[in-house]
Chains A and B, each alone.
Chain A
Amino acid sequence: MRIGVVTFPGSLDDRDALRAVRIAGGTPVSLWHGDEDIKGVDAVVLPGGFSYGDYLRCGAIARFAPVMSEIIRLAGPPTQTSPGLPVLGICNGFQVLCESHLLPGALIRNEQQQFICRDQKLRIERTDTVWTNRYGKDDEIVVPLKNGEGGFAADQATLDMLEGEGRVVARYLDVNPNGSFRDIAGISNATGTVVGLMPHPEHATEAGYGPEAQAANSTGDGTDGLAFFTSALQGVLSA
């Protein structure tokens, strides 16, 4: 199972995402923003960071990188012959997915105007996606969160649509760290192949290096984020 991780100029968490894929048991493949092909990978992770320095808007310039044209084409609406390329966008990757219109809404500057870095409790609400099928419905986990522009925003109709179709993948618990509407931490496309998530599961995949904070369904060793990556191995196999 080969999972590609795109490096844009200014990506920071590409190495951790590659590592998370390896720890999960997959084969990590580095992808480059300037390349037009994605080396035949089975799924793609768009990592966190500050692609193109967050110039213009977070993710706005990355969205037009050559590699993204191919990813947008392959991840687009599913057809009878293809369910669509699975893509996980984490943090800046989530912003890129919204700018690409693969996911609705946008991420805006944190309500309190400060960069936030904390261990964040989440509830996993959608578990039939490629990226979350190894979690239990409403599992409560803790993974790191670090963002300056992580406030999820959309109009009321879009928010109602996401809720109505069960497309809210993860919600902030205890604290809404950035002013996200309806405490939304992550969403998916209709088919559950494309997921965007503001917190960082790739930083909670190796025992002893993840958050010490615990939630109801924590693994106990700081690896609450690993299931995003093991899910993909499972999800891609069954697709």
Chain B
Amino acid sequence: MGRVVIDVMPKPEILDPQGKAVVGALARLGFKEFAGARQGKRFELEVEGEVDQAVLDRARQAAETLLSNPVIEDVVAVRAASDQE
């Protein structure tokens, strides 16, 4: 069983209200060294066999079709999960 990890982040120029709320809460808890936060999404897709390039290509296609909205988000990573994950 293989696993593909996909990371999706809001585009840098798009306001990220959730990230703003997170960094505000961090500051209130004393984590003042963190000047900013952005919140994205991680998807894990399972496949029956090994994760090869063909699977990664399909995963990227899925990421760009459904898992992200290219108007407001970037697919920043599509990779095979390591054994430790």
CB within 8 Å of B: which residues of A? Answer: 56-57, 60, 64, 98-99, 104-106, 108-113, 151, 153-155, 179
Contact = CB atoms under 8 A, between A and B. Distances in A.
A105 B71 contact: yes
Contacts of A104: 71
A234 B35 CA distance: 55
Contact of A154 (B18, B66, B67, B71): B71
B72 A108 contact: yes
Interface stretch (B9-17, B26-34, B46-54, B74-82): B9-17
Contacts of B72: 106, 108, 153
Nearest to A59: B69
14 contacts: A57-B69, A64-B66, A98-B71, A99-B69, A105-B71, A106-B69, A106-B71, A106-B72, A108-B72, A109-B18, A111-B17, A112-B17, A155-B13, A179-B15
Nearest to B24: A113
A105 B11 CA distance: 13
B70 to A, nearest CB: 9
B66 A60 contact: yes
Contact of A108 (B14, B20, B66): B14
Given A60-B66, A155-B13, A113 B71 contact: no
B45 interface: no
Given A106-B72, A153-B72, A113 B18 contact: yes
Closest 10 CB pairs of A and B: A106-B71, A106-B72, A113-B17, A109-B17, A113-B21, A106-B69, A57-B69, A108-B72, A153-B14, A153-B72
A182 to B, nearest CB: 14
A111 B71 CA distance: 17
A56 B18 contact: no
Instruction: Choose among B10, B13, B17, B67 the residue with the greatest number of A CB atoms under 10 Å from its CB.
Output: B17
A176 B81 CA distance: 43
B10 to A, nearest CB: 8
